[in-house]
Amino acid sequence: MNLEMALENITTEVKNDVLIITINRPDKLNALNKQTIEDLHDTLVEAENDKSIRALILTGAGTKAFVAGADIAEFASYSVEEGREMSSMGHFKVFNFIENYSKPIIAAVNGFALGGGLELAMACHIRVASNNAKMGLPEVSLGVIPGYGGTQRLAQLVGKGKAFEMIITADLINAEDALNWGLVNYVTTQEELLNKCFEISSKITTKSPTAVKTAIKAINAGYNSKRNGYEVEIEEFGKCFATYDFKEGVDAFLTKRKADFHGN
């Protein structure tokens, strides 16, 4: 895997089978411009093909922001067509890509997660926030709406009523409210944030990669209006029985040893 590749706005580090992706534009509060979307996509594609990576952590550089949104200066003079293209490419290259990724991605929300930043965190499978984090979808303040899945994923996570309130008032919420509303799984101090993410990822990396990937697929199917989640679960459950990981997991249990999963 070529995770050493030189990317303008992303840095990466591998630790114990976990890839940490840091969005690195701290002087712009890690705002997502086109280049960052491309860099993120390229990194995710590389990591997907690398069997040694079993989970990912996504965070922002610095202590102030996870991501403060899409890059407002970049889209300021977009036409209708360019706006549509920006949204659709973002969905395709990063946001839907992350949601349907074959390996779990944990968002380490280390500060402001606004607009596209909160949408990025919401596309991840698990979110941990530091207690200084502020979250919101303030797009209506700018005369636009969330365009990277926020109108859909926020309602899925916090319910329709809270999603309406957050989106149409543009209010930001703090980490404590985010925890109480189910928007994040845990809140820690900023110093403990990555440790908490590693604690979670260390549980995942010892499990069957094929089963974890299949679980992501089945859970997501229930939120896809074109699919029946229960039917997908039945099919995917059946397919597990043909995998090496299933045979290994069951044999390890029956012979009272630790399973050595290979991800196939």
To the query of whether residue 119 is one of the catalytic residues in this protein, the response is yes
Which is nearer to ligand COA, 76 or 254 (by Cβ)?
76
How far is residue 6 CA from its own chain's centroid?
Answer: 22
CB of 117 to ligand COA, least distance (A): 7
Active-site hit among 139, 231, 235, 236? 139
Q: Where are the alpha helices (H) located in the chain, listed in sequence order? A: 34-48, 72-75, 80-90, 96-99, 116-123, 150-158, 160-169, 175-180, 193-204, 209-221, 229-240, 244-254
The distance of closest approach from Cβ of residue 54 to ligand COA in the complex, given in angstroms and rounded to an integer, is 32
- Residue 58 CA to residue 118 CA, distance in Å, equals 12
Which lies closer to ligand COA via its Cβ, residue 141 or residue 180? Answer: 141
Residue 217 in tokens: 């697929």
The residues binding ligand COA (CB under 6 A) are 28-29, 31, 68-73, 112, 114-116, 138-139, 142
Catalytic choice (4, 8, 99, 119): 119
Ramachandran region of residue 219, left (φ > 0), alpha (ψ -120 to 50) or beta? Answer: alpha
Closest CA to 10 of 32, 149, 68: 32
Q: State which residue, 31 or 179, has the beta carbon closest to ligand COA.
A: 31
Nearest CB to ligand COA, comparing residues 63 and 228: 63
Q: Could you give the maximum distance between any two Cα atoms of the chain, in Å?
A: 64
Q: In whole angstroms, how close is the CB of 22 to ligand COA at the nearest point?
A: 17
Q: How far is the CB of 259 from ligand COA (least distance, A)?
A: 44
| Catalytic residue set | 119, 139
